[in-house]
Chains A and B, each alone.
Chain A
Amino acid sequence: MLDEDRIISLIIAKDQNAFKQLIDEYKDYVYSVILSIVKDVHQAEEATQDTFMKIFKRMAGFNKDSKLSTWMYRIAYRTGLDYLKKRKHHLSDVTKHQHISSSTDLERDLHQQSLLEFVKEFITNLPSEESTIMTLFYLNQRSIKEVQSATGLTETNIKTKLFRSRNSLRLKAKDFFNQENDLFL
């Protein structure tokens, strides 16, 4: 566990060892948030690097009005959105293609996949905003407030999108569980 106050002071003083500790602690989290937005591993890696560079440069501006992780997620979220905007036209073609192919693959391979793979594929195929909300929600110990603080979206919007996403997962998982009846009759 990091001593955040100490790490923050050291990073402000441009201490690279402290920064390395911060990266090692949070890189998976930041990468996961960005990947849920950009849905491309190469871009996610590049955007994660950019996010940490911004964190390194802007650490002095962190005023501790939120948790360090939330502040970092906020930067990651905005960086991810910037990347998404940059390749907006390209993405729309790729996403359409991926969505069509993946939904057919999903049905065909449903019973061959493990539950984890099934869930992972489902989250990957969600629209960016929904998958980011779900990712941030679960990464932040299910705190709506943390998601709100990181994304700037309203509480109602977050709750609605989260409910829809999980409900959609439940319906698709019905096939996975090989049930004839709906879950929750």
Chain B
Amino acid sequence: MKQKYREELIWKHLDGLCTEAETNHLNNRIKTDPTFAKQIEQLKMLDNSIDKTVLQSAPIHLTNSILARVNQQPKIKPATFSLIPAMVVILILLATTVYFLPEASTPLSDYIPVDWNFLALNFKISQKYLPYIFGSFAAIALIWIDYFYTRKLSI
């Protein structure tokens, strides 16, 4: 246990993490014990060797390879993905409005309450809203396709 502590202390010393008291203790021992001083020197050599060894040289062509891959990226930026949830919300609001909107020509007194049985809808959507609804669906579909293929093509 004592030896383990001593070894930890010496590595700490080599890492420059010792407190002042610990450093003084080690320095005194180094001064009075030549064997210990020699061992510390050897460990310093070992420590310096690790320092010099850990950094490996990457292949010379690495930078060019990475830049070549960057250039292969699709130039067209995908549509902003956050647009999609926003459009979905707009579409839901639009659909809800259309769903509850009575025909303009229908007098309020003749208004038929909504049948919640969705298998037997008894209302019709005004023709003038149809282009907007289909347009919204088409826009969402196009953004999805754009996003999907941009991701698929990207490296």
Contact = CB atoms under 8 A, between A and B. Distances in A.
Contacts of A19: 67, 70
A40 to B, nearest CB: 12
A58 to B, nearest CB: 13
B42 A56 contact: no
Contacts of A30: 58
A117 to B, nearest CB: 9
Contacts, number: 98
B45 interface: yes
A5 interface: no
A32 B62 contact: no
A135 B35 contact: no
A29 B155 contact: no
Contact of A138 (B43, B50, B67, B70): B50
A106 interface: no
A120 to B, nearest CB: 5
A170 B39 CA distance: 10
Q: How large is the interface on B (under 10, 10 to 19, 20 to 34, 35 or more residues)?
A: 35 or more
B6 A49 contact: no
Interface stretch (B8-16, B90-98, B111-119, B141-149): B8-16
Q: Is the interface of A mostly helix, strand, loop or mixed?
A: helix
Interface string B55-80: 11111001101110111000000000
A169 B62 contact: no
B66 A134 contact: no
Q: Is the interface of B mostly helix, strand, loop or mixed?
A: helix
A71 interface: no
A163 B3 CA distance: 13
Interface in B1-26: 3, 6-8, 10-11, 15-17
A177 B54 contact: no
Interface stretch (A20-28, A60-68, A78-86, A92-100): A20-28
Interface residues of A, number: 41
B64 to A, nearest CB: 9
Contacts of A167: 7
B62 A27 contact: yes
11 contacts: A16-B71, A19-B70, A23-B67, A31-B58, A45-B58, A116-B53, A120-B53, A123-B53, A134-B50, A163-B8, A163-B11
Interface of B: 3, 6-8, 10-11, 15-17, 35, 39, 42-43, 45-46, 49-59, 62-63, 65-67, 69-71, 155
Given A173-B42, A184-B6, 9 more contacts: A27-B63, A31-B62, A119-B49, A120-B53, A123-B54, A142-B15, A163-B11, A183-B42, A184-B3
The 5 A-B residue pairs with the shortest CB-CB distance in the complex, in nearest-first order: A31-B58, A119-B49, A27-B58, A138-B54, A32-B56
